[in-house]
Amino acid sequence: MRVALDVPLPRLFDYALPEGASVASGDRVTVQLGRRNHTGVVIDAESASELALDRLKAIIDVRSDAPRLPAEWLELMRFLSTYYQRPLGETVIAALPPRLRSLKPLPRKVLEGSPFTASARFVPTHSLTASQAQVVETIGGSWANSPRCCCTGSREAERPRFTCTSLRACSRQGARRWSSCRRSA
């Protein structure tokens, strides 16, 4: 199997699979490189190595504390590696969250607290309350055509000029105070 490691070499590293273990592309593994242990990602689990089997080091551990990285994500990492002209191992490991890069397993409470999915797509698990839906409707319907306050507006050329009489109060509270704004000549 071929593993991507965070080293500045433009190649993948071949490792042997210990008996009884099974891996697939996208699995995180712990391997030894030199005298240190590293977290790596299996890129190709099916390929045979050009080296003799007795010369290959075995992987130390298959990390099962988080789900397998999806094939689409690995394909994106391949693209980014060529685009930025960096080794695939550096790109893959740098894109992982710090806890997944670590040699330490994820804490149990993190694993029990949230269900993992292998998909990178966001699926909303909540719906808007009645008051939230009303705000969204109000913003979507009238916000685009309403004038903006001079201290909070974003469309300089398209809005009428307003002068804020209490600029400090507006910016300090972070609120749009239409009562404190008056139209300038």
Answer yes or no: are the C-beta atoms of 52 and 36 closer than 8 Å.
Answer: no
pLDDT band at 105 (very low <50, low <70, confident <90, very high): confident
Q: In the predicted model, is pLDDT for residue 178 greater than 50? A: no
The identity of residue 39, as a single letter, is: T
Q: Is the pTM of the predicted complex or chain greater than 0.95?
A: no
CA–CA separation, 148 vs 137, rounded Å?
18
Answer yes or no: are the C-beta atoms of 180 and 172 closer than 8 Å.
Answer: no
Q: 71-83 and 88-95 are packed helices; what angle lies between their axes, rounded to 10 degrees?
A: 120
Pick the CATH number of 2-113 from 3.40.1440.60, 3.40.50.920, 1.20.1260.10, 3.30.413.10: 3.40.1440.60
Residue 117 pLDDT: 47
Could you state, in order of their start, the residue ranges of all structural domains in the chain? 2-113, 130-183
CA–CA separation, 134 vs 151, rounded Å?
25
Residue with tokens 């490691």: 5
Q: Helix or strand or coil: residue 167?
A: helix
The identity of residue 122, as a single letter, is: F
Beta strands in 64-185 (DSSP E): 162-164, 181-183
Answer yes or no: are the C-beta atoms of 144 and 158 closer than 8 Å.
Answer: no
Residue 123 pLDDT: 54
Digit-coded pLDDT (tens) for 16-54: 998 888 899 999 999 999 999 999 999 998 888 888 888
Q: In the predicted model, is pLDDT for residue 168 greater than 50? A: no
What is the arithmetic mean of pLDDT over 52-66?
A: 89
CA–CA separation, 176 vs 43, rounded Å?
52
**The two structure tokens encoding residue 180:** 């404190």
Residue 13 pLDDT: 94
